[in-house]
Structure 1
Amino acid sequence: MTIAPEQAAWFAETFSLIADNIEQAVLGKRHVVELVLATAVSGGHVLLEDAPGTGKTALARAIAETIHGTSSRIQFTPDLLPGDVTGITVYDQKAGRFEFHAGPVFANIVLADEINRASPKTQSSLLEVMEEGNVTIDGVTRPVGNPFLVIATQNPIEQAGTYRLPEAQLDRFSIKTSIGYPDEAATMRILQAVGAPKPKLEAIVGTDTIVAMTELSRGVYVNPLVSDYIMRLVDATRRASEVRLGVSVRGAIALSRLAMTWAAAAGRTFATPDDVRALAVGALAHRLVLEPEAEFDGVTAVAVINQILLDVPAPRENGVA
C-alpha cells in the first residue's frame, strides 16, 4: 500500500520530534542520530566504529527512553559465551522442569559494546537474531520483540586482542557510521552540565509508533529507475578491480529500505536518487572486501564507493510515479 501525503507529513513530523529528543543526550550529532533512527525504523542494525567516550552508550539509552522501550548493554569480552548473550535453559529441581532464562538480547535496543573483542563463536550468536528477530535455543524459537535494534561498537584504533568481524556478520549491519567528537559549542554545553544530575529523557512515542512508522516506510514509492540505480551501484562494486567481494543482495535491499525511510523522513511519498547517494557510503562500504594489493596501496572501501558514485550516472527521473 502506497503511503499517502498526509501520512508522509505525519512520519516526517514524528521522525523529527524523536530525533530532537535523542539529540538532547547526544549533542551536536543530528545527522548521526537521524541515520541511526532511520536504520531502526527500517528494521536494520548499526555498526559504530568509534573511539571510546563519544556517546555510544548514551545514544542507545536515549533511543530506548525516547520510544519507551527496553535497552540492554552487553560488554563483549574474550570469555563471553553465546549463552551470556541469548540466554540459557536451566533445570529447576523444585518444579521438575527446564526453564528459560532470557539473555540481554531480549530488548528493543541492544548495545553490543566492543563486539570484536568476543570470539567468533560468541559473535555468531547474534547472526540469527539480527536477521530473523528470533532466538532458537534447545529447539525452541523465541521472538525478541519489535522494534529490535542492535547497535554494535568497535574501536578502530586498538585492535590488539580483537577478532575481525566475519563478512556474514558485517553484512547484517544495515549501516556503518561513527559519532565522532562533538564540536566546540557542543563540548562547552557538555562541560557546563558536569556535576548536574543526568536528566532522564521523556518518552515521546511508544514502540508501537516505531512499528507503525516501519510499515509506512515500506509504502514509499521507489521508481524502477531508482531501483535500477541501486542495482548498478551494487554491480559496480562487484566489478571494481580493487574489490575481491562486492555488495550482496542483502546490502542492496538494505540500501533500498533506508532510502525509503529517508524519503519518508523528508515528508515525501517517493524515494529519489539523492536519497540513495546520501546513504550509499554508510550502507555499502563496510560490505566490501578489498584485494590485498589495493589495501597495501592505501585504497579504502569508502574511497571505492565514492568513486563508484562518481562513475555510475544517476537517473534524472526523481522517482515520481
Structure 2
Amino acid sequence: MLHTVRAETLSDADREALLDSLSKLHDEAESKVDGKFRIALAAFKNAMGSDDAAIELYLNCMERVNFDEEKKKAADFRDWKRKEAEKLSDPGMRLALRHQLRWLILTMQSIPEKADRTKLAAEAQQAVDTIFDEIEKLKGQEEILGQSVMSTVFARAYDINHIKVENWPLNPVELDSIYGEVILPPLRRPSQLAGLRAAWIKRIQQEGSKAQYWSGRRGGGGGEERKGAPAPSGPSPAYTRFLEETQPKLQWDMEIDLYRSGDESGAATRMLAHLEKHIAHPSAKAWSDQLKQLLKPAAAPAPAAPPEAGTTAP
C-alpha cells in the first residue's frame, strides 16, 4: 500500500497524541522485559537449590534452544542425552551449573541503575568463596564456570542473553574483574582497611587455587592423569610459576592498595620487607622505584614571585 507524502506540519494535538502513544509503547516494552526477568529469576532460583533441579533445567533449556528452536527431532535430543550421559551424571558438572546459575542471578540483579552495589559486592564475595571452598569437587568444570553467564543455555532459553550488562564480571571465576570492579572498591577507605586486606588475601588464595587445580597437571592427586598411572608428585609448573612470580606481585599490589587507602605506615613497612624477601623477582626494581615515589615528601608550593618594581603587591 502506497502512502501519500506531502508537506504538513504537526499540530499540538497531534504531537500530544504521538507522544502519548510512544509512552504507552515504552511502558508496554518495559512491562514485557520486567515480566521476562521475573519468570527467569524464579526459574533460576528454583534450579539453583539442588543438583537435580539444576540438571533438569539445563536439559529443558538445551532441548528448547538446540533442538526445538532448530526444528530437530525429539529422537535427536534423546540421542544427544545418551551420548552425554556420563558427563550429565557427573556431580561436579551439576554443582558447577548451580554456581553458574547463582552468578547469573547476581548478574541480572546488577543490571538496574538503582542496584545496591554494596549489597551485591557482599553477595558476590560469598558466591566466589563458595566456589573456591568446593574447588576440588569442581575439577574439570573450568569451561562451565568460565563461560559468560549471559551466553549460557539458561540465558538463551529465557531470552535474556541480548541484555547489555555494564561494570559487572560475566563469570564467577574472573577474579581480577570481580575484585577490581565489585568487591574491593567499597572497602577502599580508612574505616575499612581490615576488610580490604582480608579481601585481598582471599583473592590471592583463590588465584592460587586456580593455578593449582585448574592449570593442567596438579600435585596432590588433582589433574587428568591416565587411569592406572601414578599420580605426579609436586606442584604443577603453572602453580610453581604462580608461587614464584604471580603471588609476590599480587601481594605487592595489595600493599599499594592499602597504602593509598590510608595504611601508609604499615603498608610501607611491609613493602620494604617484601622487597628484601623478593629482591630477585623480575619486578623488584619497578617496586623499589614505586615505593621511592610514594615515600617522597609532597613538593612544597613555590613561593610567590615578588612584585615588579613600580607595582603594588595585592
TM-score (ref. length: structure 1): 0.25
Would you tell me which structure has more strand in proportion to its own residues? 1
Would you tell me which structure has more helix in proportion to its own residues? 2
Higher RCO (CA < 8 A, seq sep 6+): 1
Larger Cα-atom Rg: 2
